């Protein structure tokens, strides 16, 4: 990659870590933070790197997308509404941001002559595994409004490759976790409750399994897909190829934090039965054959780094551990 790089959703969990990685590699980054009247840049607050340009706006605006894409060699499109529970409440907003926002960014990338656009997908598009490990040929199953909009966004992006030869790659990370993650997700909600002194931990269903990716591994996967040759028009998993149940994960967290806890099922955290994804375990054969990417962090290593971050009082203070964050 050469020239300036655009990261949409750079103020979020994965986007901020990807921005950090790109800056550490010497790239110039234009980082999109969603506009708000507080002029808050999310997880980019306080980042004063000389090669960082922060802009505020919204991917739902097509003219704005063309404006921020100008002069950018590579685009990482991560901006999205991601919380599955909130997609039950406000599905139309997910269509506007996830599908229309991706359409706008693909059009902007084409109009501005970007060398490549990496569009962020999710393992949720697969739904409950029909077979494991899940490769890229696995059927798509829209088990929530969120996953339906991500299936739609992937289709829009690939249609631009097929119809207009847009140099697009679909990056499909499995369950990413780590510092800065929203407390709506299972790992940070458990760690933050324990760190806040709670010993009765509110949880949802603990039986599903997930393929957990530490955020630094996910971001290295994005970078690998941005720099590999000849992979345009493909959708590619970023996965460890392992699975662990929610219960096993939470027991590991409690052990690492050296506490005895009781897990209490909170009905508000239970998905509708047909919407719950029961099993996810990704096949990473394609990415490991096309790039030199390999997962570097074991689950225990990633959890230790995540726990260290959340138990810093300054970081923990940013979380509302007394409420369920949808």
| 43 and 137 in a common domain | yes
Q: What is the mean pLDDT of the chain?
A: 96
pLDDT of 167 higher than 90 = yes
Mean pLDDT within 86-105 = 97
Is residue 279's pLDDT more than 90?
yes
94 part of a folded domain: yes
Q: What is the pTM of this model?
A: 0.96
What is the domain extent for residue 271?
178-210+242-280+298-316
In a domain, 199, yes or no: yes
DSSP-based three-state secondary structure for 9 = coil
Mapped onto helix, strand or coil, the DSSP state of residue 94 is helix
- Do 66 and 196 belong to one domain? no
Q: Is residue 218 part of a domain?
A: yes
Q: What is the pLDDT of residue 268?
A: 85
Residues 70 and 184 in one domain: no
**Same-domain pairing of 167 and 260:** no
Would you say residue 265 has pLDDT above 90? no
pLDDT band at 324 (very low <50, low <70, confident <90, very high): confident
pLDDT exceeds 90 at position 229: yes
Calculate mean pLDDT across residues 24-51. Answer: 97
- Give the tokens for residue 9: 């959703």
- Based on the fold, state whether residues 310 and 183 are members of the same structural domain: yes
Relative to beta strand 4-8, strand 28-34 is parallel
Which whole number is the average pLDDT over 147-168? 98
Same domain, 166 and 186: no
Look at residue 326 and tell me whether its pLDDT is greater than 90: no
Asked if 64 and 43 count as a contact pair (C-beta separation under 8 A), the reply is no
> What DSSP line would sit under 115-142, residue for residue?
SEEEEE--GGGG-S-SSSSB-TTSPP--
Q: How many residues does the chain have?
A: 326
Cα angle, residue 127 at apex, residues 250 and 282 outer, rounded to 5°: 65
pLDDT for 2 beyond 90: no
Question: pLDDT confidence of 214, banded at 50, 70, 90?
Answer: very high
Question: Residue 322 — very low, low, confident or very high, per pLDDT cuts 50/70/90?
Answer: confident
Confidence of residue 273 (pLDDT cuts 50, 70, 90): confident
In the chain, the largest separation of any two C-alpha atoms, in whole Å, equals 57
Q: Where are the beta strands (DSSP E) in the chain?
A: 4-8, 28-34, 52-57, 72-77, 116-120, 168-173, 175-177, 200-203, 209-210, 212-214, 235-238, 244-245, 262-265
135 and 188 in a single domain? The answer is no
Residue 287 lies in a domain: no
pLDDT at residue 105, as a whole number: 98
Residues sharing a CB contact under 8 Å with residue 69, sequence separation 6 or more, in sequence order: 6, 75, 105, 108, 109, 111, 112, 114
Q: How many domains does the chain have?
A: 2
């Amino acid at each position: 990659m050469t020239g300036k790089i655009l990261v949409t959703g750079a103020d979020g969990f994965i986007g901020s870590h990807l921005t950090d990685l790109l800056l550490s590699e010497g790239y110039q980054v234009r980082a999109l933070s969603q506009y708000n009247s507080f002029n808050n840049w999310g997880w980019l607050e306080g980042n004063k790197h000389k090669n960082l340009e922060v802009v505020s706006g919204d991917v739902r605006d097509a003219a704005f997308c063309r404006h921020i894409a100008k002069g950018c060699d590579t685009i990482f499109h991560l901006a999205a509404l991601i919380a599955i529970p909130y997609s039950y409440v406000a599905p139309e907003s997910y269509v506007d941001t996830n599908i229309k926002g991706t359409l706008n960014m693909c059009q902007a990338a084409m109009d501005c002559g970007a060398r490549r656009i990496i569009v962020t997908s999710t393992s949720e598009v697969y739904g409950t595994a029909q077979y494991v490990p899940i490769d890229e040929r696995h059927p798509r199953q829209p088990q929530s409004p969120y996953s339906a909009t991500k299936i739609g966004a992937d289709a829009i992006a690939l249609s631009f490759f097929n119809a207009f030869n847009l140099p697009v790659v679909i990056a499909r990370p499995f369950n990413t976790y780590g510092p800065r993650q929203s407390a709506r997700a299972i790992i940070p909600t458990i760690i933050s409750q324990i760190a806040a002194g709670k010993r009765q931990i509110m949880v949802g269903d603990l039986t599903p399994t997930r393929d957990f990716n530490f955020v630094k591994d996910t971001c290295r996967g994005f970078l690998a897909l941005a720099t590999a040759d000849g992979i345009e028009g493909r959708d590619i998993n970023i996965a460890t190829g392992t699975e662990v149940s929610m219960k096993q994960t939470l027991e590991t967290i409690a052990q690492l934090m050296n506490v005895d806890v009781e897990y209490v099922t909170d009905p508000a955290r239970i998905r509708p039965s047909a919407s719950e994804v029961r099993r996810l375990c990704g096949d990473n054969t394609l990415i490991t054959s096309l790039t030199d990417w390999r997962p570097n962090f074991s689950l225990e290593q990633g959890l230790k780094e995540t726990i260290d971050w959340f138990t810093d009082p300054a970081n923990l203070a940013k979380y509302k551990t007394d409420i369920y964050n949808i």
